[in-house]
Structure 1
Amino acid sequence: MKNDFQPDTPAIAVVIPSYRVTRHIVGVIAGIGPEVTRIYVVDDKCPDGSGAFVRANCADPRVVVLEHELNQGVGGAVMTGYRAAIADGMDVIVKVDGDGQMDARLIPDFVAPILNGEADYTKGNRFFDLEQIRQMPRVRLFGNAILSLMTKLSSGYWDLFDPTNGYTAIHADAARHLPFDKISKRYFFETDMLFRLNTINAAVVDVPMDASYGDEVSNLKISKIVTEFMVKHARNFGKRIFYNYYLRNMSLASLELPLGLALFLWGAVYGGLHWLVSARAGVATPAGTVMLSALPVLMGTQLVLAFVAHDIASVPRRAIHRVASRRRRHV
C-alpha cells in the first residue's frame, strides 16, 4: 500500500537483480536519485551473499532486500521485483543492473515517456550516438545487429534496436497484464519481454544512452546461447503471427503471408525440379516452364513483402496503461 509518499506523486520503483555484483551494488544504490520511492534488491541466490551484503552496508531506507531460495536467472529476479512493486502500489518500475554499467541519472529519462502517456515500456538503446558506438567491441556490435533483426521479426517492434539492453522501465498497469510465469527467466528475458508486450499491444519506446564498459564480468557466453535464441525467436515469431493475424484479428495481411509463401515455395520447387530434369537431359528448360516457375516466385515475394509492410505499420503506438488507469478509477 502507498503509505509513505504523496498519492498525487508518481511512485517510482527500481528493481536491481543481484548476482555476483557485491563490488558495485552499494555504489549503484547510492547513485539513485530522490525521484525514486523504493529500491528492490533481489538476491538471486547469489554465492557472494549480496542480499546480506546490502543489508550490512547500505542504510538507504528505500531499500527492500528480497531473496530467492533457488537461482532463477535475471528474468526470475526481475519478475520477483515487479510483483513486489505492484503489491506495494508503485506506478513505474525501472530495472537497473547491479554491475555499475547503467547510469542511474538516466532514470528520469526512462520514466518520462511513460508518465507522459507516450509509452508503456521504455528500454535503453546504445546505438543513437555514432561516436559512442565506437566504444563497443566489434563482436558485440555485430551480435547486437543480428539479435536486433531477429527480435524485430519475433517481437513485432520494428522500430527498436539493441534488444539485449537491460536498462528498462514499465508502467505497473502494463506489467499487471504480463504472464510473469511464462516469461523467460534467463538470458532471453529482455527479448521475451518484448514479445509478451506485443501480445498485449503495449507501446514501447527506445531511450538513447551511452555505451559503458567497465571491469564487470559478463556471465553471458554467446556460443552457448546462439542456438537457444534462434529456436526461441522462431517460436515467438510463430506465436505472434498466430495471435495477431488469426486468433485476435483477421485482415488482408492474414491472407498475404500464407498465400505468398505457398506461391513462392511452389514456384521454387517446380522450377528447381524441371531445371534438374533439363540439366540431366542436356537440354534447355522450355520458356513456358521458366515462366510458370518465375511468376509464382515473383508474386509470392510481392505478397510476403506486402505482409511485412503491414506488420511494420502495425507496431503498437497507443499506451495501454492510460486506458487501464481510467478503468480502475471508474471501478
Structure 2
Amino acid sequence: MKLGAVIPVYNHGGPITGVVAALRAHGLPVLLVDDASEPGCAAVLDRLAQLPEVTLERLPVNQGKGGAVIAGLRRAAQLGWTHALQIDADGQHDTRDVPSFAAAAAAAPTQMICGCPIYDDSVPRARLYGRYATHIWVWINTLSLAIRDSMCGFRIYPLTGTLAVIERQYIGRRMDFDTEIAVRLYWSGMDVTNMPTRVRYPEDGVSHFRVWKDNVLISAMHTRLFFGMLWRAPRLLWRKVAA
C-alpha cells in the first residue's frame, strides 16, 4: 500500500503549513491542490512544494472542493499511490488520528475509511444539527446505515475503485462532493469502515460554504441520488440480506 495525503487548498495560507508539517511527521507524502488561490496563499504553497515529498498541483480556474479533490486523486494515481487520505486545509481535522486510519486501510485495502466526527464545543450548532438531514438522506439512498457520516472530509480512498467510479459517472464538484462520492462508492460495491475522529472549528477558520448556492447543489444531489437509488433498490436490499 502506498498512502499519501491529498489536500484541496483555496485561500488557507495560514493553517496549511501546520497541516503539511503534521502529515509529514507521520511519514506521509503530501499532494497540495491549489484551487486557484489568491497570490498570498499561492506563494505559501510554492514554498511548501520545495519540501521533500510535497507535490503541488495547481488549477488555473477554481473548481470547488470536489473538483480539487478529483484532480488530486487523479494526480495521486500518477504518482504511484494506491490510497489517498483526503484532509481539509483549514486544520479542523486531528492529524493524530492518521495512524489509526492508515492501519484501518491496511487491514481493509478495498474499503473506504470514512471519518465519523467527534466534535468539541467549537462546532457551530446550526451546522451540527443541519448535518442530520444529509445523514438521513444518505441512509435512505443507500438503504443502509453503512455510512455513518458522509460529510466528513477526513477519509481514505482506495484509488483504483474510486477513480473507476469518478470516470464512469458524474460526481458533484463543490460541497456536494463528499456525500455523493461516498454514496456512489457504496453503490459500486465498496464497503465502508467508519472511524471516529476529533474535529474542531478554529476561531479564525475560513469557510467557503456558500449558504444558498451550496444548499441548492446539495438538494439537487440528494434528488438525483434518490432516483438513482430507486432502480438500484433490489440490489442494495439483496446486499443487506447477503451480508
Confirm or deny that 1:103 pairs with 2:90. no
Corresponding residue of 2:217: 228
Give me the whole-angstrom Cα distance separating, in 1, the residues matched to 2:122 and 2:239. 31
Which residue pairs with 1:210 in the alignment? 198
- Aligned-pair distance for 1:189? 0.4
Which residue in the other structure is 1:149 paired with?
136
Contact preservation (8 Å) 2:104, 2:113: yes
Aligned 1:1-331 pairs, distance under 5 A:
10-48=1-39, 50-57=41-48, 59-117=50-108, 120-127=111-118, 132=119, 134-180=121-167, 182-214=170-202, 215-245=204-234, 249=235, 310=237, 313=240
Structure with the larger RCO, 1 or 2 (CA within 8 Å, 6+ apart): 2
Assess if the C-alpha contact under 8 Å between 2:172 and 2:221 holds in 1.
no
Query: Which AA in structure 1 matches 2:177?
Result: F
| Structure 2 CA distance for aligned equivalents of residues 85 and 56 of structure 1 | 20
Rounded Cα–Cα distance in structure 1 between residues aligned with 2:31 and 2:22: 14
Offset, 1:155: 3.8
- How many pairs does the alignment contain? 241
Structure 1 position 156, deviation (Å): 4.1
Deviations 1:175-220 (A, max 9, x none): 2322246211101000110122023110112110123011212111
Instruction: Return the alpha-carbon distance in structure 2 between the equivalents of residues 311 and 97 of structure 1.
Output: 35
- Asked if the contact 1:119/1:202 (under 8 Å) is kept, the reply is yes
Identity %: 24
- String of CA shifts for 1:59-116, please: whole Å, max 9, x gaps: 4210110111111111111111111111222121101111111122212222222210
- 1-structure distance, mates of 2:228, 2:239: 17
CA deviation profile, 1:265-303 (whole Å, cap 9, x unmatched): xxxxxxxxxxxxxxxxxxxxxxxxxxxxxxxxxxxxxxx
Query: Residues 126 and 133 of structure 1 are in contact (CA less than 8 Å); yes or no, is this contact kept in structure 2?
Result: no
In structure 2, relative to structure 1, the CA distance for the partners of 1:35 and 1:145 (3 Å cut) is same
The range that moved more, 154-163 or 75-84, is: 154-163
Higher share of residues assigned strand: 2
After TM superposition, give the deviation of residue 244 of structure 1 in Å.
4.9
Between the aligned partners of 1:100 and 1:116, the Cα distance in structure 2 is 27
CA contact (8 A) 2:24 2:30 kept: no
Contact 1:17 1:41 in 2 (8 A): yes
Structure 1 unmatched runs, 5+: 1-9, 254-309, 318-331
Equivalent residue number for residue 260 of structure 1: none
Larger Cα-atom Rg: 1
In structure 2, relative to structure 1, the CA distance for the partners of 1:70 and 1:142 (3 Å cut) is: same
TM-score (norm 2): 0.88
Give the SS at the match of 2:199.
coil
CA distance 1:57–1:65, change in 2 (3 Å): closer
Give TM-score scaled by structure 1 length.
0.66
Kept in 2, the 8 Å contact 1:11–1:90? The answer is yes
C-alpha RMSD of the superposition: 2.5
Q: Per the alignment, do residues 154 and 35 of structure 1 end up closer, same or farther by CA in structure 2, a change over 3 Å counting?
A: same
Give the Cα–Cα distance (whole angstroms) in 2 for the partners of residues 237 and 314 of structure 1. 21
